[in-house]
Every structure is written in structure tokens, then in C-alpha cells.
Amino acid sequence: MSNVKKAAIVVGVVAVIGTLGALSMRGGNKGGVEVRPEQVARRDLVSMVQASGKIEPKRKVDISADISGRVVQLSVEEGQWVNQGAVLLRIDPTQYAAQVRRAEAAVAQSQARAAQSRAQLAKAQNDLRRAEQLAQTNELVSAADVENARTQAQVAQQEAQAATFAVTQSQAAVSEARDQLRKTTIVAPMSGRVTRLNIEEGETAVVGTMNNPGSLLLTIADLSVMQAKVEVDETDVPGLTLGDSAMIKVDAFPGRVFPGHVTRIGNSSIQPTAGGQASDQQSVDYEVIITLDNPPAELRPDLSATAEIITETRRNALAVPIIALTVRDREGKKFKAAEEGDEAAQNSKAEREPEDEVEGVFVIREGKAVWVPVTIGIAGDRYFEVVRGLRGGETVVAGSYQAVKDLENDQAVKVPEPEADKAAPKAKGGRAA
């Protein structure tokens, strides 16, 4: 067989295969892309912000010791109610009582020295007067003796003044020692319930510092007013306002919802803890406080909670499914996908301006998907509010996600038959037994 005949056979086979492939593709797309339709209707929409956090009392006091020492008396238990001024615990006062006695002795000593200095001052002043009188009546006292007596009087006056200051200093030391002794007894700064107790009788209390959690002795909280402290993403914070209603779900109480309202929105972001390291990629969150309305008595601090904050509501708003909304260019065409190695598409995506992206939906008309730009309002749980672009009653493509992503304007689509119609048996003569 000649080369010319072989080439002709190859070309013929390729042509047949190409024709069959084209026919197959045409037959496969004859019915169009299978989509899931949904009618545009009016619905009640609620826009919510979700955040997680913990339950905390509105007012609580973490109590630490101002002095170090062994706990010799513990008067409370965890969960106990205490009134303001009640004795919580006592630290061994032996050392601090001794300091008070030593300071009081120092006061007595300084007062004695002050009295001695005043007596010396009186003697020096008398000597000065006598020397001045003798110098005026006769010449038995020289001028140098008078000047020496005057100097001695001045020195005695300064020593008396220094002794007075020493008395004041020692009296201050007594006040300080008594204050230290008084701090060996720790009383409740407020009325509330002991929600945390980290000390036992016989253990040593250390001086409390902010960065030393081991110095925390106990916590007293007012459980009558409870709040949820949650962390809200920076993109959701602008939509929040004081007084927004919220629904709190607590993991420890499944099936129950606790109503509340926003009472505080953080002005600055939550900073990482001392052990954490901040990074440019770290998400930025803000602290939001939600006060619970009529919290139950069994609610406890530090319970994990999830909050749904209602930011906006729309009654009888025109709505489309969230999955139906997609983005195209100004002419309704898809943007070229930026695949790895495709520098032109990647550069196009990088240079794309926000105004070049148009949001819209595909409306099914006469078996085709027609691109319709829309303007959306608030976002509900499953639907977007439509502000402009649709009138209501239209049927839009609401799935699948891949179909919405790949659809082109005026592309043929087909709607599958409802499952109920497929499952229903055809009617036949006779009755079922």
C-alpha cells in the first residue's frame, strides 16, 4: 500500500471520529445544562452576625493578697454567698504584729530624742542670752565667745527640728506597719457568690501581680446580671449598634436560647496574650458584650456560648437564594480563570477593579439562562434581599453551585422533573388490593 493511500485512510478515520464526537456532544447538550430552579418571592429576612465566647458575670472581683504569708483561717467555700465586709480569710499576723511593736518603739525613741533636743536648744538659747548680757555690761566676755554661743544655739535649733521630723517619720512607719497588719485579714469588697477558690487553709499566699495567675486567691461575682463576652470579626463590627437584640446559645444548655442585647462594642481590637505572637495574617477580632435578659439562676461563669446578633430585619422583602447570586463582568461574561502558569489571567485578576465585577442572577426564560444584574441588600440565612433588578415571580437558577458558576448568558438549561412525579406510578385499570 502506497503512502498516499495510507494518508488518505488516516484522514478518513480522523474525520469519522470527529464527526461522531461532534454528534455525541450535540446530543448530550440537546437538553441543556441541568439546573435547579427557584421562584423569586417575598420573604421575611433577618441579617445576623454570629460570634462565640464565654458567659461572665457583669461584675466580679478577683481577690489577691497584698502581703505574703501562710493562711491560718479560711472562712468561705466555693459557691458560698458572702456579704460586703465579711471576713474571707486571715494570713498569719505574727510577723506583721512584731513590725507594729517595733515601729511603735521607734516612735517612743524618736520622741525622747526630740525632747532631749528641745532641752539642748533651750540651754543653748539661755547661754546665748547670758553671753550677750555680759558682753554689754563689761568686757569679761569676748565677741568670739558671743559668736560661739550664737552658733551653738543655731545648731541646737536645727537638731531639735530634725528630731521633730524623725518623730513624724517613725509615726508614718507605725501607720505602714499597722496597714500591713490590717491586710492580714481579707474581707469581701462586695456582696456576691464565691465563684472561684484557689487557696486552702495552711497554704502560703503570695503577693498578687497582674501576670501571675497563681497569686489569685478567690473570685466573688454578682450572678444576678450575666453577660456573654464574644469575639466579632472586624468585617462584622461596622454593622453592630448598641441595643441590637441577640440570641445566646449555651453549650451546657442544649435546646435553650437566652435573649439579650448588645451593651458594649470594643473600640480597639483584641490583642494577643503575652505568650502569643502577633502576625500579619492573624484575624482581627473585637470584643462585644451582650447582657442577658433575665438569666436563669443555674447559669454559671465561663460556660461556652454562641451568639447570634440581629443587625437588621426586612419584612416581606423580595429575595433570591444566596447560591443563585454570582459575579460576571459588565457584559455578563465570565472572567477568565487564573490557573497556575497562566500569567495573563493572573495579571487580569490582579488588575481587576471592584466596579468591573457585577453581581447578578440567571433567570430561566424559554429554556435559556438569561443574565440579569441585580442590586442586593441585607443577607439572611439562605437568601439575599433584592433591591433592584427583579420584580418578583421570576424563576432563577438556584443550583447547583457548579452550574451557576459555569453558566453563560443565553445558554440552554433544563429543569429536572420533581422527584414526586418520578416516583408516582402510572394509573392502570383496576384497584389495588
Q: Residue 240's closest CA among 284, 177, 287?
A: 287
- Largest Cα–Cα separation, the chain: 165
- Provide the pLDDT for residue 280: 55
The distance in angstroms from the start CA to the end CA of the chain is 73
- Provide the pLDDT for residue 419: 60
Question: b/e string for 289-308 if b means 16 or more Cβ within 10 A?
Answer: bbbbeebeeebebebebebb
Going residue by residue through the chain (433 aa), what tens digit of pLDDT does each one get?
444 344 344 334 334 444 434 333 343 445 689 999 999 999 999 999 999 999 999 999 999 999 999 999 999 999 999 999 999 999 999 999 999 999 999 999 999 999 999 999 999 999 888 888 888 877 677 888 888 989 999 999 999 999 999 999 999 999 999 999 999 999 999 999 999 999 999 999 988 765 566 688 999 999 999 999 999 999 999 999 999 999 999 999 999 999 999 999 999 998 876 555 555 557 899 999 999 999 988 899 999 999 999 999 999 999 999 999 999 988 788 887 644 445 554 455 555 565 678 999 999 999 999 999 999 999 988 999 999 999 999 999 998 999 999 999 999 999 887 665 554 454 443 333 2
According to DSSP, the residues that pair with 186 across neighbouring strands are 89
Whole-model pTM over 0.85: no
- E-strand stretches of 234-298: 245-250, 257-269, 285-292
Residue showing cell 490583642: 271
Identity of the amino acid at 231? E
